[in-house]
């Protein structure tokens, strides 16, 4: 039993780290390989000093894109950013990174994301800016399951009831709070 313990080793899962350790040589010694992602002490130190992204194996997927205005010597410069998920990290660690950085780290993911999200004649403005355009609301009916939810035009008579108007206001408030919590630039604009 002891001889097999010495031959078992565990490799660090840190980005670019090739260190491996005999389980019996660790302090304290381990009897079996631990489940999940494992980092050596040097990668733990790196993660502590530089953040969890420093030991991730890179970008796993792209979830969104935005354009932000950043101050520069010439005034204001627009920068395209992508909201990315890193391999081996929970979604709570997703964050926005500049396109220039992402093109260095994962150019094929950027190309794939842009191809997938490219469409002809897509309008990115508000629906209120288009004449004769109505919002649709997804209505989950009380007492029925979600499979019976329906899309209803905003001019439907029941959506003008006081209860419906209250529900719409509550939804819009939650949405505004969620957007400002997930996008610091919105919070900065509100505070300015």
Is the pLDDT score of 80 beyond 60? yes
Cβ neighbours, 10 Å, residue 59:
19
Residues 6+ positions from 1 with CB-CB distance below 8 Å = none
**Mean of the per-residue pLDDT values for the chain?**
78
pLDDT at 189: 54
H helix intervals, the chain: 2-7, 41-50, 99-105, 107-116, 162-182, 184-191
pLDDT of 18-75, one tens digit each?
Answer: 778 777 777 777 777 777 777 777 877 777 777 777 777 789 999 999 999 888 888 8
Residue 79 to residues 9, 31, 65, 86, 144, Cα–Cα distance (Å)? 45, 51, 11, 21, 45
- pLDDT band at 81; cut points 50, 70, 90: very high
Statement: the pTM of the whole predicted model exceeds 0.85: no
Closest CA to 96 of 115, 80, 117, 113: 80
Is the pLDDT score of 168 beyond 70? yes
């Amino acid at each position: 039993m002891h001889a097999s313990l010495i031959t078992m080793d565990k490799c660090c899962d840190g980005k670019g780290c090739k260190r491996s350790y005999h389980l019996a040589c660790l302090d304290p010694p381990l009897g079996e390989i631990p489940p999940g992602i494992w980092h050596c002490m040097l990668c733990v130190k790196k993660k502590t000093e530089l953040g969890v992204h420093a030991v991730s194996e890179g970008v796993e997927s792209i979830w969104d894109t935005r354009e932000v205005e950043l101050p520069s010597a010439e005034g204001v410069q627009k920068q395209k950013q992508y909201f990315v998920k890193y391999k081996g990290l929970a979604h709570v660690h997703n964050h926005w990174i500049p396109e220039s950085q992402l093109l260095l780290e994962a150019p094929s993911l950027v190309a794939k994301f842009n191809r997938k999200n490219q469409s002809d004649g897509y309008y990115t403005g508000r629906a209120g800016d288009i004449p004769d355009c109505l919002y649709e609301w997804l209505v989950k009916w009380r007492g029925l399951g979600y499979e019976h939810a329906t899309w209803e035009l905003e001019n439907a008579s029941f959506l003008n009831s006081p209860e419906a108007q209250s529900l719409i206001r509550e939804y819009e408030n939650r949405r505004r709070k969620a957007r400002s919590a997930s996008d610091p630039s919105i919070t900065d604009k509100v505070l300015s």
